[in-house]
Amino acid sequence: MNHSSSAAGLAGVVAGETALSTVGKAGQGLTYRGYSIEDLAEYATFEEVAWLLLRGELPTSRQLTEYGQRLQSLRTLPAALTDILERLPAASHPMDVLRTGCSVLGCLEPEDDGRSGLEVADRLLAVFPSMLAYWHHFHTSGQRIETASDDISIAGHFLHLLHGSPASETHRRAMDVSLILYAEHEYNASTFAARVAASTLSDFYSAITAAIGTLRGPLHGGANEAAFDLIDRFESADAAERGVLDMLDRKVKIMGFGHRVYRTCDPRSVIIQRWARRLSVEAADTRLYTVSERIDAMMKREKNLFPNLDFYSASAYHFLGIPTRYFTPLFVFARTAGWAAHVLEQRANNRLIRPGADYIGPESKTFVPLHQR
Ligand SMILES: CC(C)(COP(=O)(O)OP(=O)(O)OC[C@H]1O[C@@H](n2cnc3c(N)ncnc32)[C@H](O)[C@@H]1OP(=O)(O)O)[C@@H](O)C(=O)NCCC(=O)NCCS
């Protein structure tokens, strides 16, 4: 029996303040520092959005160029880190690889060596794609890749490293938009974990490591991988309809649907769906996108549930040639901008985050010494 008066999962609880984003607020929708997600996904680049989140204003053209060059110069991995990436098992979960890589970098380039939080944030934004690509190539083909590249954008850089050749402009921009959509989302579970760690005055790397560990689960970041596994198992839209109906009958949750805060639609989903459709046409796909649309329609009909960002991201990423197990790591590349901005915001006006709990255990008991039990 639940005696608690607290909100399960802290649903609806306002746990603090932020100037970074609004999520599902009436009349505002999703905004980053006041700019609508629709405008950012249409007109901005991910680097521009990262600057906005971390520095508070949109960059000038010159600032953006210099920022791109700066991030580009921070992509190289220290030898001690590549050494450890090589020693990790090939079967490791890629999220464990990034979590470990982040921790290792915290030992090699600690914040208290005179680095500012902002410097660590930029380094992590620049280095996570290199880390994943290095580990990937070493463990799939034994290659020790060069992690520097001419690509200015993080999206182009990662796709280039992963595939070994520069991405087409459509693919690069599709990934860039996806990074913008995933960059920030208020007090979601992983961001909250980062803020809790930051509130103890811990270091930047610890906060980001906590966030990566929290993002890994299928109720949060892991949903895009689970959504792809679902879509990919059906040969046709009709088979998907039968299969998903059966899952709903068995009360199985359909990954990529529903949201804690949004009630009628996820504004990010509309944008990534357009990209998924465009990429599916380009790839002459006649199955995945059709299956996705059918599942979307029947979830609306059967449960009045809508797709969240993870659902159509799954097929978009597939068309970009990204292996399914890297979907959540891509979320890390993007959300590092939001996490880092929240850590800086928490530090700027810190108070230890330490909520209370309703006690539901036994009444006071008399202690029985060990020899009498
Ligand atoms: C995101 C999520 C965790 C939000 O959870 P929540 O706010 O705690 O909502 P609940 O899990 O309590 O769901 C409320 C109701 O909708 C149903 N529901 C919610 N999401 C569902 C889904 N994806 N598939 C089927 N039913 C779902 C629940 O079963 C529940 O029904 P009930 O009241 O009959 O028990 C939840 O929607 C979910 O698990 N979605 C799938 C995972 C996912 O896509 N995560 C990424 C989020 S961006």
Residue of the CA atom closest to atom 28 of ligand 1: 253
pLDDT at 5: 59
CA 259 to ligand 1 center in whole angstroms: 7
Q: Tell me the average pLDDT across 175-186.
A: 98
Q: What is the mean pLDDT of the chain?
A: 95
> pLDDT tier at 205 (50, 70, 90 boundaries)?
very high
Scored b (16 or more CB within 10 A) or e, 312-342 reads bbbbbbbbbebebebbbbbbbbbbbbbbbbb
CA 256 to ligand 1 center in whole angstroms: 9
Ranges of CATH 1.10.580.10 domains, the chain: 21-214+325-348
Q: Does domain 223-319 bear CATH number 3.90.230.10?
A: no
pLDDT more than 90, % of the chain: 90
Residue of the CA atom closest to atom 41 of ligand 1: 255
Substitution candidate for ligand 1 out of 187, 259, 263, 264 with most atoms within 8 A of CB: 259
Angstrom distance (rounded) from CA 272 to CA 267: 9
- The torsion of the CA quartet 86, 89, 90, 96, rounded to 10 degrees, works out to -90
Active-site amino acid positions: 220, 259, 310
pLDDT more than 70, % of the chain: 99
Give the N- to C-terminal CA distance of the chain in Å, as an integer. 29
pLDDT at 44: 98
Ranges of CATH 1.10.230.10 domains, the chain: 223-319
Domain 21-214+325-348: give its CATH superfamily: Citrate Synthase, domain 1 (1.10.580.10)
Amino acid in the structure at residue 126: A
Residue of the CA atom closest to atom 34 of ligand 1: 251
